[in-house]
Amino acid sequence: MSLKKDIHFEISERKILLRIMDICVVFLGLYILQTTLDYDYLTIERDNASPLIVLAFYMTVFGTIFEIYDLQKSSKLDVTFRNIVLTASTTVLFYLLTPVLTPFLPEQRLQILYFYLVFIVMIFFWRWAYIAFISTPRFYKKVLLVGEISNIENIIKPLNQSDPNYKIVGFINSEPEVDSPIKFRGLREFEPSKLLDVIREEKISEILVASYNSETITPEIYHDLIALLDKGFTIREYTQVFEEITYRVPIQFVGKDFYKYFPFSRSNQNTLYLTFQRGFDIIFSIFGLIIGVCLLPLIIIGNAIANKGPIFYFQERVGQNGKLFQIVKLRSMVVNAEEGGAKWAQKNDTRITKFGMFLRRSRIDEFPQFINVLRGDMSIIGPRPERPFFVNELSRIIPFYETRHIVKPGLTGWAQVNTRYGSSVDDSLTKLQYDLYYIKHRSVFLDINIVVKTLSTILYYRGQ
């Protein structure tokens, strides 16, 4: 049989493509400007190598903050246009305000407008082309799922949400036939005997094996998979793909061989990394507290008008290695909000005051926690600290929940920049998957990514 596959782009390839082409089309636009109009502010010349590199750097940083490289958002033209305008506006503003690194302002201020407009127009037309020609079914990665029916729904949903170009076209039940089989209606099912025909007819690029117990795979399917593997066909295990696409560790599929899934990052024991992180925590906390003190008069006024009662509140939380500590925050709920006991924070929670909602969405309520960071109870980046009551409850329900305590809790973290509300056990499971991914892949680059994404969360007013 032929193993010819359609062309497709992996997630990393698409993100790299977007970043490189954004820079290239802007440079192309500047070249067109200098050759067609009276424009000389920033031209494509060897002498301008440094200013062009600075421009590319600003584009990459602010493009990440304003999410123009988010694959889900990049597939929607209206959202993409809004994010392009925000990226262009911020990039041009910073570029103009750093004349030490960039050219001095031109005498003809109209050139600044040309510079700004070419940024928006060129990227927008390139992104339109990306949506029209690349982010289309012809470049989808078509995947055939082989696994147990009981797992299928929990597999399909997170993969589809994370990567719109990763298309599971159908599944084959790997379990032996039974008298009363369970049927799954949300995806096309193929007969196990037709595995090789399905790959050829549907132009499958990859087989995803999602069997919790490999012993349930029938000999017929096993033989076909071995034959495909011998011919170089891509066959991958579900948990690896799940982690690669969603940036989460699928702990619900981790069994007794859990040690295979948790080769935790060496950074957790790396003295140089931990020293650098502690230095960053101290410096960042000092700046944070200075900003908090500057905002305090406005907070006092807002609290007196719309949040009557104490400004601060203290609460016991679980820290590194299960050690308890008192966290300090700006109060955002009504006084005595939990007289009846601890409760989940809900979306549109009636206990949150109007001023408290502003504090949460803007993340201003977190500023006093810089005191906890200076004390060493917390870090800037890490899993959010939870209350002992919920830790005890969730530890009984969710496997490996207490594993998140092997590192210091943080003001912001991988779960916080990727999810919003944690109002149920299912939400806590999702957040734990993100937390374990951070612990597993912890590094300076991931920390920088979290800081940048935190800025996006604040700017788009996504705080809880």
At 287-300, the pLDDT tens digits run 999 999 999 999 99
Query: Average of pLDDT values for 15-19?
Result: 91
- Structural domains of the chain in order of their starting residue, each with its CATH number: 11-134 (no CATH), 140-246 (3.40.50.720), 266-459 (no CATH)
Residues contacting 172, CB < 8 A, separation 6+: 144, 145, 146, 189, 190, 191, 192, 195, 198, 221
CA distance 55 to 119: 11
CA distance 308 to 122: 51
Look at residues 7, 186, 37 and name the one whose alpha carbon lies nearest to residue 114. Answer: 37
Q: With bands split at pLDDT 50, 70 and 90, how would you rate the model's confidence at 207? A: very high
Q: What is the pLDDT of residue 255?
A: 65
CA distance 241 to 54: 35
Q: Which of 160-174, 290-304, 447-461 has the highest mean pLDDT?
A: 290-304
Instruction: State the average pLDDT for the chain.
Output: 85
Q: What is the pLDDT of residue 1?
A: 46
Q: Which of 214-228, 270-284, 350-364 has the highest mean pLDDT?
A: 270-284
Pairing mode, if any, of strands 206-210 and 141-147? parallel
CA distance 155 to 153: 5
Q: What is the pLDDT of residue 81?
A: 94
For the ranges 93-107, 123-137, 147-161, 309-323, the lowest mean pLDDT is seen at 147-161
Q: What is the pLDDT of residue 180?
A: 46
> At residue 273, does pLDDT exceed 70?
yes
At 121-158, the pLDDT tens digits run 999 999 999 988 877 767 788 899 988 776 677 778 88
> At residue 62, does pLDDT exceed 50?
yes
> At residue 43, does pLDDT exceed 50?
yes
At 221-269, the pLDDT tens digits run 889 999 998 988 989 988 888 888 889 988 877 766 666 667 777 778 8
At 353-389, the pLDDT tens digits run 888 888 888 888 889 999 999 999 999 999 999 999 8
In the numeric block, which tokens belong to residue 455? Answer: 């800025």
Instruction: Supply the pTM of this predicted model.
Output: 0.82
For the ranges 99-108, 178-187, 326-335, the lowest mean pLDDT is seen at 178-187
At 80-89, the pLDDT tens digits run 999 999 999 9
Q: Which of 83-97, 178-192, 334-348 has the highest mean pLDDT?
A: 83-97
In the numeric block, which tokens belong to residue 362? Answer: 């803007």
At 393-420, the pLDDT tens digits run 999 888 888 889 999 999 999 998 888 7
DSSP string, 261-273: T----GGGT-HHH
